[in-house]
A and B are shown apart, each in its own frame.
Chain A
Amino acid sequence: MKIVVVTSCATGIAHTFMAASALERAGKAAGHEMIIETQGAGGYKPTPPDVIASADVVIWANDIRIRDSHRFDGCKIVKSIPKKAIKEPQTLIAEAEALAKS
């Protein structure tokens, strides 16, 4: 499965990157292709529209508004927060798998 992850937090130096790393590890361990977009204090590289369109499912783990969120219009999105992504990344991956199949 191809999963696009977007993470973001208020300060943009800790939660954003911890959540991204946790989801990347958990997703890869479950055999998924993970595409990670961190919207941190140093800015972000927008995931290209064709990559988003080819994803089976998207996970947002954010405390503040996702930038350029219209790029994900029409996608299946699991919406969560960085704290949950850090503590229970496997749960979010399982939710994403379920949503993708629905």
Chain B
Amino acid sequence: MKIANYWEWINMSVFIEELIDLELVARDKVDAITQMAQLVVNAGRGTDTLKIVEDVLARDAMGTPQIDGIAIPHARTKGVSKSSVVVARTNGVSFDADEDLAEILFLILVPDLAGDEHIEILSGLARRMMDPEFTSAIRNERDKKSMVRILEKSGKE
């Protein structure tokens, strides 16, 4: 695909620095999801923080996947116009009483439309979550630019 300019590239991209927060302080999971949803709205990729939070919490009630201290709340929601992945390093958030606190959160949001071009990127990311090398790189990364590079690689496998 030919990309004409920077703005088009930003539109196409799922992983962007604006959607990474490496110092998120949250009281609980609702607070964490709300702050992360706000980043999506601030980046112009969604319109309705409350709707995003509602849909994510409804999905979360069925169980949020978690592995190695990384939780992956996600939802299909009318609150976003573009598929978005928010990555946050937190002070420790509990998603499941049976699990350790999650240090890293991946909030995956997909617009409420059939046939999204980003599904493949997102499913590639979900697969890589089971790769210990990938999760350890994510856990240890302290720089937003490098984090984007790690994430972009994940979509290709």
CB atoms of B74 and A13 under 8 A apart: yes
Instruction: Name the interface size band of chain B.
Output: 20 to 34
- B139 in the interface (beta carbon within 8 A): no
Residue A10 CB within 8 A of the other chain? yes
Q: Which residue of B lies closest to A42 (CB)?
A: B119
With both chains docked as a complex, state the minimum distance between the C-beta of A51 and any C-beta of chain B, in angstroms. Answer: 21
How many chain A residues have a CB neighbour from B under 8 Å?
21
Are B65 and A41 closer than 8 Å at their CB atoms? no
Q: Shortest beta-carbon distance, B40 to chain A, in Å? A: 16
- Stretch of A19-27, A52-60, A67-75, A94-102 at the chain-chain interface: A19-27
Residues of chain A lying within 8 A (CB to CB) of residue B110: 11, 13, 41
| A42: B residues at CB distance < 8 A | 119-120, 123
B51-80 interface code vs A (CB 8 A; 1 in, 0 out): 000000001001101010000101110000
Q: In the complex the two chains form, what is the Cα distance from A102 to B65 in whole Å?
A: 32
CB-contact partner of B67 in A10, A11, A20, A86, under 8 A: A86
A to B CB contacts below 8 Å, 6 in the list: A13-B74, A14-B108, A15-B63, A18-B130, A41-B119, A42-B120
CB of B116 within 8 Å of the partner chain? yes
Q: Which of B116, B128, B129, B131 contacts A41 (CB 8 A)?
A: B116
Q: Are A10 and B59 in contact (CB under 8 A)?
A: yes
What distance in Å separates the Cβ of B124 from its nearest Cβ neighbour in chain A? 8
Q: Using Cβ atoms and an 8 Å threshold, which residues of chain B touch A25?
A: 130
Whether the Cβ atoms of B65 and A40 lie closer than 8 Å is no
CB–CB A40/B119 < 8 A: yes
Give every chain A residue within 8 A of B122 (Cβ-Cβ).
Answer: 13-14
Query: Is B126 on the interface with A (CB-CB < 8 A)?
Result: yes
Cβ-defined contact, B127 with A11, below 8 A: no
Q: Which residues of A contact B131 (CB under 8 A)?
A: 21
**Cβ-defined partner of B126 (8 Å) among A10, A14, A63:** A14
Residue from B116, B119, B120 with most neighbouring chain A CB atoms (10 Å): B119
- B128 / chain A contacts, CB cutoff of 8 Å: 21
Contact of B123 among A16, A22, A87 (CB under 8 A): A16
